[in-house]
Amino acid sequence: MFISLRFVLERTVLVCICNRISDKDIRSAIHEGASGIGDVCADLGLGSCCGKCVPFAKNLVDETVSQLQISNNFHLARELKA
């Protein structure tokens, strides 16, 4: 069975069941200025109940921050080259 990449990217994963916080909510918080798991927890209320979501959320935050930094560096290098 073939699953398209677009389908996978469009799916929403519920990261924090207690507070109904999705992976997209976390990524949005990063794009809006949150710089780490502490900011995301404070902004969204992530981990404020049972806390079982925090390890997975931290990995997601770290990955998203890294991707954003790579993207920003790429665009900056492109602008400097032009």
Domains observed in the chain: 10-81 (1.10.10.1100)
pLDDT of 7 strictly over 80: no
pLDDT value at residue 6: 60
pLDDT per position as a tens digit, 8-64: 567 889 999 999 999 999 999 999 999 999 999 999 999 999 999 999 999 999 999
Question: In angstroms, what CA-CA distances link 37 with 9, 21, 77?
Answer: 22, 14, 28
